[in-house]
Structure 1
Amino acid sequence: MTEMVEELLKPQEEEWLCNSNEALTIWFFEPSTDPDQEFDSAQVYPMFTYSIFGDKEQIYGYKNLEITLKFSSGSFATYFDVRYSDKIPDVSSTSIADNVIDKVKTLIPNDYITNFDTFLQTVNENAYSFKPMGEKITEYRLEEGKDIIYEIYRATFNTPRFKEYHKRFQILVLFYIEAGTYIEEDEKWETMLLFERKRIGDKYIYSLVGFCTMYNYYFYNREECVNNIIDRTNNKVPVSERVNEGKVIPEDIRLRISQFLIFPHVQGKGHGSKLYQTIYKYVLSNSRIKELAVEIPNDSFEVIRDKNDLLYLREQKAFEGLAAPVDKKTIDSLRRKYKLNKRQLLRCLEIELLRKLNKSDAAAYKAYRLQVKERLYNWNKEILKDIDRDERIEKLEETFKSLVEEYQDILLKYN
């Protein structure tokens, strides 16, 4: 009898359910360069909302639910609104509607705006007073002759105005970065901010179009640690503890990219590559930074990373004259020089070796295959060691063939 009642209730329950990705819309507003209209706006939808509304990305208790977040493109002043045509009556503890407002309120600054006219007024006022914060690193144009410039700034949580600003745009991490979470306001975080600057009349306005958060980890160098032990026996000071003018020199660091996002309405124009190139150049120019790493890169970021690392290393002739097998000493030297972590350096090396490989040369192809398989085995040793020899050989061969296909696809794009 209970099962029959539950079956009868199901259709009624479903009419109060909605997909949270579809119910929520995000807008970016800024003054228009078109004299015939006051504002330009771009509407987008989130890719993910599970961190707010649960793994099923469903909201219960409403009909025709509309959740709206609108941002001033520069200052990120926030408008928040929730509307619906009907809400389920709270007749029992099992039919209470989800508290949509509270779920979103906890993730945005307290000074959000609920009146749309007030929001538009704020957009207009903020547009001409807002300026980027932090240290300007570089600028670029996508099209010569156009009066639109893109500027990249570096900021930390100690940078004036940045802590408050970060609270405004960080919600986009939840919407567009899978498994993305808010970061703590730790002084070891630094952020690259990408702004668009364009002229309206005789003034300039700035719009945030992307950002990258990076964390400074201690760079553990096994070779240096051994030397430090020897130095201690000779009463010398280890590198990480040297003193200059009464100040301890900061330890060497591994800079790890954590969150990398170009906003959806400006994607596909090359901004991702420009931002990554700026970060990599910053790493190469900073003597403290010994390695650039990435925290669990997704597929779209891997494309940006592979493309730009390959083109830069090719431009530098980093792999000139190399053929498999490449010895460990050479690999370590390249890794230190170009400050890429070992996996990425080897990935780029393998792609370039494949590009120059004469596949009709059986000995050369065997040497390449063995080098790649050795790397694959070392990377997956814990999994493979428990598999019998014949299956291990088969698995490595399958993985090798799949990887070569992936490399060939990359080479078709960037040969």
Structure 2
Amino acid sequence: MALKQKGGESSADTKKKRRVGFASIDAGIDANECIKVFLVRSWDEVGATNISCVDPFDLSHFFGEDGKIYGYKNLKINIWLSLISFHAYADIAFESTFDGGKGITNLKPALQNIFGESLLEKEEFIQTFSTEIHYIRTIMSDGAVTLCDPLRKTDDASDTHINEDGSTMEVLRTALHNMPVGLLYSRLVPLILLLVEGSRPVDVTDPKWEIYFIVKKIQDDSGGYNMDLIGFATVYRFYHYPDTTRLRISQILVLPPYQSQGHGCRLLESIYSVALSENLYDVTVEEPSDYLQQQRVCVDTLRLLTFEPIMPAVNSVVQYLTDNNLSKRTGKSTRKSPFGPPRHVTGIVRQKLKINKKQFRKCWDVLIYLNLDSENSRCMENFKACVSDHVKDDILDKESESNMKRLIEVPNGYDHDMTFVVMWSEGGRESDGRDSKPEGDQAAQEEQLNQLVEKEMEDIVEIARKVSLRCE
């Protein structure tokens, strides 16, 4: 076979060969890897990347099923969000686009879904630092100053807290369906979406929604003052049969620069204060995160420590755990033991402190732990045994509830699709003799139970530590 020499190739052949190749494959880029959000207080910070950066919990769910952005090579998105007006500006930079930009589909719609109308062009965004410098102060002009928990006999129980720098902190409450307040909330929605996992905007047109703002008032050179927004909480007023109302906290967020300074606790205390002053039924939280739940238990335990009506019951349980040896008990449960709070005590706490039954049960364990002698090993073993019992009882109660009704798919002669029937199982169990479980499953369940108990103990000890620090 004769071989064609390289020098003998025609110009036409060379041209054809240059056109042959594989197109670049657009694998997409993870949204969390290319997007950064910066909080800014002045126009000259716009463009800087060495300032406070928001750490979103997850951006992927805004960008399709796989959480990736397609159509760009070496994409970088820097977003600056103003702490003055809560507008935003996005700087989108990339080296090139794939396929002439035809594959660009999900970037701009996704950013619009997050930031909405608050996303501005750069020039307009920079102007807001001067045109809306008093935006927060104007919105808050009609807000009602809310007291912190009036049961606390400290300076923190006042409606205004004075900082060392002379600025003051206040919690203001207002209706969310008020148009200017609703507009401010719409500008805060991006922070909710970025920082509160699983959160969705509330309906600002519903008159039952309220919003609590914690603000910082700062004196200016002219003798007036400006106002910074520190955090907020949205609260819904639910009807409670027969003739009262309960407050449900939906969202609570302290802005990143002000976190870990006690502002979230102050918001919680203010909400309790309203429930007490208006004699509402209680206060609940809608799907709290682990961190919020821990903070809430800490706040409620501090309130309970000074609530004298429950102390006899607390002392009775402490004495029981000190005097007895629960390792010698018989049976698998101590439902009749005096470890849990008596029913009448639960009722008093709900009525006087607006702490609901489920929440009080969590605080009760911490209260008991705080009053035990941590050096007494038998006492602490008794305490852990009781915690194990009520963790086990909680699991069994949930399983019982879930087993009472069953949905079973059955063939449908009328249509090819499956339908279902609801079957009520007596005692929450099937009666076909298949109740017994393999030994391996039982061992695995025991291991899972032990892990839950250890986690519960760790939480109790950590909350007790925080409560002790705040009591010092």
Q: Structure 2-normalised TM-score? A: 0.67
Provide the rounded CA distance (Å) in 1 between the counterparts of 2:51 and 2:162. 21
Is it true that 1:97 corresponds to 2:150 in the alignment?
no
Shift of 1:261: 1.0
Is it true that 1:191 corresponds to 2:211 in the alignment?
yes
Provide the rounded CA distance (Å) in 1 between the counterparts of 2:449 and 2:178. 49
The question of whether the paired residues in 2 share the 8 Å contact of 1:156 and 1:190 is answered with: yes
Q: Structure 1-normalised TM-score? A: 0.75
Structure 1 residues 64 and 266 mapped into 2: Cα distance closer, same or farther (>3 Å)?
A: farther
What is the match of residue 330 of structure 1? Answer: 345
Shift of 1:337: 2.4
Shift of 1:402: 4.0
Moved more, 176-185 or 47-56: 47-56
User: CA RMSD for the aligned pairs?
Assistant: 3.4
Is it true that 1:120 corresponds to 2:126 in the alignment?
yes
What is the match of residue 360 of structure 1? Answer: 378
Is it true that 1:215 corresponds to 2:236 in the alignment?
yes
What is the match of residue 65 of structure 1? Answer: 75
What is the match of residue 285 of structure 2? Answer: 294
Structure 1 residues 53 and 369 mapped into 2: Cα distance closer, same or farther (>3 Å)?
A: closer
Deviations 1:56-101 (A, max 9, x none): 432122123233433332332333443322221258xxx7123312
Structure 1 residues 256 and 98 mapped into 2: Cα distance closer, same or farther (>3 Å)?
A: same
One of 149, 162, 187 as aligned partner of 2:168: 149
Structure 1 residues 363 and 212 mapped into 2: Cα distance closer, same or farther (>3 Å)?
A: closer
Aligned pairs for 1:1-400 within 5 A: 12-14=25-27, 17-31=28-42, 42-90=52-100, 96-110=103-117, 112-116=119-123, 118-128=124-134, 130-131=136-137, 132-133=139-140, 134-138=143-147, 140-141=160-161, 143-144=163-164, 146-185=165-204, 186-202=206-222, 203-220=224-241, 240=243, 252-287=244-279, 289-317=280-308, 319-322=310-313, 323=317, 324-325=338-339, 326-357=341-372, 360=378, 370=389, 373-375=392-394, 377-382=396-401, 391=442, 394=446, 399-400=452-453
Structure 1 residues 388 and 97 mapped into 2: Cα distance closer, same or farther (>3 Å)?
A: same
SS of 2:367's equivalent in the other structure is helix
Aligned residues: 364
Moved more, 82-91 or 260-269: 82-91
Amino acid at match of 2:120: I
SS of 2:146's equivalent in the other structure is strand
SS of 1:347's equivalent in the other structure is helix
Provide the rounded CA distance (Å) in 2 between the counterparts of 1:10 and 1:192. 55
Structure 1 residues 372 and 357 mapped into 2: Cα distance closer, same or farther (>3 Å)?
A: farther
Structure 1 residues 178 and 341 mapped into 2: Cα distance closer, same or farther (>3 Å)?
A: same
Structure 1 residues 377 and 335 mapped into 2: Cα distance closer, same or farther (>3 Å)?
A: farther
Shift of 1:31: 4.7
Shift of 1:284: 2.0
Q: In percent, how many aligned pairs have the same letter? A: 23
Provide the rounded CA distance (Å) in 2 between the counterparts of 1:368 and 1:27. 44
The question of whether the paired residues in 2 share the 8 Å contact of 1:51 and 1:174 is answered with: no
SS of 1:48's equivalent in the other structure is coil
Provide the rounded CA distance (Å) in 2 between the counterparts of 1:60 and 1:275. 41
